[in-house]
Amino acid sequence: MKKNKHSFVCRECGYQSISWYGKCPQCGVWDSFEELVQENAHSAGTAKGQHKKLVPFRSETTEEVQRVSTGISELDRVLGGGNINGSLVLIGGDPGIGKSTLMLQMLATSKHAGKKVYVSGEESFNQVKQRASRLHIQPDNLFFLNETNLETILTTLEEEEPGLVIVDSIQTISSVSLDGIPGNSSQLRYCTNALVHFAKQRNVPVFLVGHVTKDGAIAGPKLLEHLVDAVLYFEGETKGDFRILRCIKNRFGSVNEIALFRMEREGLIPVTNASELFLNSGEQDQQGTAITAVMEGNRPILVEVQALVTKTQFGTPQRTATGIGHRRMNLLLAVLEKKCGKPFGFHDVFLKTAAGLRLDEPAADLAICMALLSSLDETTLRRRTLYLGEVGLNGELRPVNHTQERILEAEKLGFTDIIIPSSAKTFRAKKARVKSCKQIQDLV
């Protein structure tokens, strides 16, 4: 009887070792090692591979990638223009965020030919059927399979020859070839690898739904994300109606693209005008409110930044930020206090972005600073003014990329004034007035 080889893998970074470590030598995370069981293979001395002919790059022509629409405009955008046959896409998110709902909607609207199979290891047929009825989904070529055994799933799919497959979720699938419960590192790696081979050999697109940990990462080793062609993350508050589908890996398109949805009774409804979603519908000038434009992939989005500055009632002032990193907020507060002489050290500061959108790029620095100064000095900022620029440690304003695209998006929504750094090259607008500024002190 063959014995299985045992090793250990870090679920955070994928580092493998023959011995267990309390702390991962590569990423430094504690208690992240899990046992990885591998099937015994022939020794290197007896195994011999076949010789394959090398293919020169110049002499061979490649076929153009054919994309198939999912029937959902926002999902097509985040995938790079549509789905590709033979691809394997991993989608993760918090429980109740809408992963299964989106996958079921995609089965109904997808332009893929052939049977569309929904493999569920968590829900029964009646549960999925009730959700489909609520979403008014009744396609003739939609089929259901309730199974958690990998070998049974693959055999069924090979005989049925579907055109599109959804597996919900990968953490519930297990193989009899390996020991261990479903969801451990060994089972996840083996089952995902088997589904990758099925997708490539049969030229069938496969979508995997994955659970996430308390930190928001997809449960299992990082190797799981390396095996698939694309990784999508669902973001948003489960109690709210706003959802963001973010692409962090895509072998067939650009990364950091986002899809916007609104959760309604009829399911997830695509949001076409992203900027209006992140802006307050009011036209009145307000204190502590500034607007900037961020790039999500190739998509400019206008976002409202709100700040509230009040005198602290305790010795240590509070610092709270939603959608903006704490380190970044503290850095900008230090610049404003040092270079502009503003006494933020005696005030509580609260920062947030509309709908909780994360502002990771430095283009929003100027808008954050203006919102803070406006709330502190109790002055109003013009509603139709856009602020673009990175703020340096000496208070200087630095240009950002894709400035022209951001200006055009602001003009579409009726903005009349746009503030950019003086060091940026000259940009022209059709109607809006583009003004330049050298340092944050000049705006104060």
3-state secondary structure of 60: coil
More confident residue, 11 or 95: 95
Please state, in angstroms and rounded to a whole number, the distance separating the CA atoms of residues 92 and 220: 12
Count CA atoms closer than 13 A to 46's CA, side-chain side.
3
E-assigned strands of 70-213? 83-84, 88-92, 116-120, 142-146, 164-168, 206-210
CB 162 within 8 A of CB 114: yes
Residue 26: pLDDT band (50, 70, 90) is confident
Please state, in angstroms and rounded to a whole number, the distance separating the CA atoms of residues 175 and 274: 43
What distances in angstroms separate CA 152 from CA 115, 207, 384, one per listed residue? Answer: 18, 18, 60
| Domain ranges within the chain, ordered by starting residue | 5-38, 67-272, 279-443
Residue 299: pLDDT band (50, 70, 90) is confident
Please state, in angstroms and rounded to a whole number, the distance separating the CA atoms of residues 89 and 9: 23
Topology of 67-272 in CATH? Answer: Rossmann fold (3.40.50)
What pLDDT does 60 receive? 60
pTM: 0.76
What distances in angstroms separate CA 394 from CA 332, 336, 375, one per listed residue? Answer: 10, 10, 22
DSSP string, 351-391: EEEGGG----SGGGHHHHHHHHHHHHHT-EE-TTEEE--EE
Of the candidate CATH numbers 3.40.1350.10, 3.30.230.10, 3.40.50.300, 3.30.70.260, the domain formed by 279-443 belongs to 3.30.230.10
What distances in angstroms separate CA 439 from CA 115, 294, 341, 435, one per listed residue? Answer: 61, 21, 14, 13
**What φ, ψ does residue 30 adopt, rounded to 5°?**
-85, 145
Check pLDDT > 90 for residue 243.
Answer: no
What pLDDT does 192 receive? 93
Query: In the beta sheet, which residues pair with residue 270?
Result: 261
CB 302 within 8 A of CB 278: yes
Check pLDDT > 50 for residue 1.
Answer: no
Residues 6+ apart with CB under 8 A from 16: 7, 8, 9, 10, 36
CB 379 within 8 A of CB 425: no
CATH topology agreement for domains 67-272 and 279-443: no
Instruction: Give mean pLDDT, residues 246-254.
Output: 89
- Residues 314-360 have pLDDT tens digits of 888 999 999 999 999 999 999 999 999 999 999 999 999 987 778 88
Lowest mean pLDDT among 14-18, 160-164, 175-179, 424-428: 424-428
